[in-house]
Amino acid sequence: MTRGILRAAVSNLCLILVLSLGVHAYGDPGKDLFDKQCSGCHTVGGGDSGGPDLKGVTDRRAEEWLEAIIIEPDKMTKDQARVDLIKKYGYEMPNLGIGHDDALKIIAWLRSSGGGGAAAGAQPAAPAAKPVETVVTPELVAQGRALFTGSKSFANGGAPCAACHPFRAPGVSGGNMATDLSDHYEGMGEQGLRGILKSLKFPVMKKMYENRPLTEEEITAIVAFSKDAAAQKRGGGPFDIFPIAGVSFFVFCLAVLILYKRRTR
């Protein structure tokens, strides 16, 4: 009996050593999965992007909750933490089809590399460099508008954004099949929007763009278009609240009322 327990212990120790050597030799499968599936919207220590920064997440959330949100977030409809995240970031985390074993690998990497209390001897993940903000130019805005509306095709043949998404901007009309993108830039900022456009992991978009990713130049142009539209909203004056036609009509009515009162005196 004792000999059998000893053999099992030795076998487990050998397995741990083999796995450890494998991680060092071939990379960490959890990190590889994170880079492929999660990094489009999340950073670890680089700040919020399309979704929250995951630094310390394994200290803030239970492992069961993390498993659920990675594997089938679409089934957590009544979870208050998920509801709060949707309110904050403006969209639901998509179901990426990640299995249970892969979810555990991602969580283990997060725990050991900055997502939570680091394992003994583990090097914490280096914080990401501050990303460079896009400089908006009229040429970039025009290019982004053309790509969004479909007057210019994406290089890899993807459908234009306006085929499904509405966007409130002069001269732009869109479909009503998907989320209104008019306020997404204000909600998630440039890096969040970039993350969404890079990953395109939402169920319908995933199928449409699976082999038709946007190029970096196209992403930059759409970001510039969205950023410019947000700036136009913020920079508006009182005539954004009362359109010029409405103000003119109000002045006309006021003048008529003054003339009427003078005549009736």
Classify domain 138-234 by CATH number: 1.10.760.10
pLDDT in tens, 40-95: 778 888 887 778 889 999 999 999 999 999 999 888 989 999 888 888 776 778 78
pLDDT of 43: 85
Give the homologous superfamily in CATH for domain 28-112.
Cytochrome c-like domain (1.10.760.10)
More confident residue, 198 or 2: 198
pLDDT of 262: 67
Mean pLDDT of the chain: 76
Half-sphere exposure at residue 61, Cβ-oriented, CA atoms within 13 angstroms: 22
pTM for this model (two decimals): 0.57
pLDDT in tens, 195-234: 778 877 676 777 788 889 899 999 999 999 999 998 888 7
Instruction: Please check the confidence at residue 253 and state whether its pLDDT lies above 50.
Output: yes
For residues 183-193, average pLDDT: 77
Extents of the domains making up the chain: 28-112, 138-234, 237-265
User: Which residues neighbour 206 within 8 Å (Cβ) at sequence distance 6 or greater?
Assistant: 94, 200
For residues 33-39, average pLDDT: 85
Instruction: Please check the confidence at residue 255 and state whether its pLDDT lies above 70.
Output: no
**Distance in Å from the first CA to the final CA of the chain:** 115
For residues 10-29, average pLDDT: 51
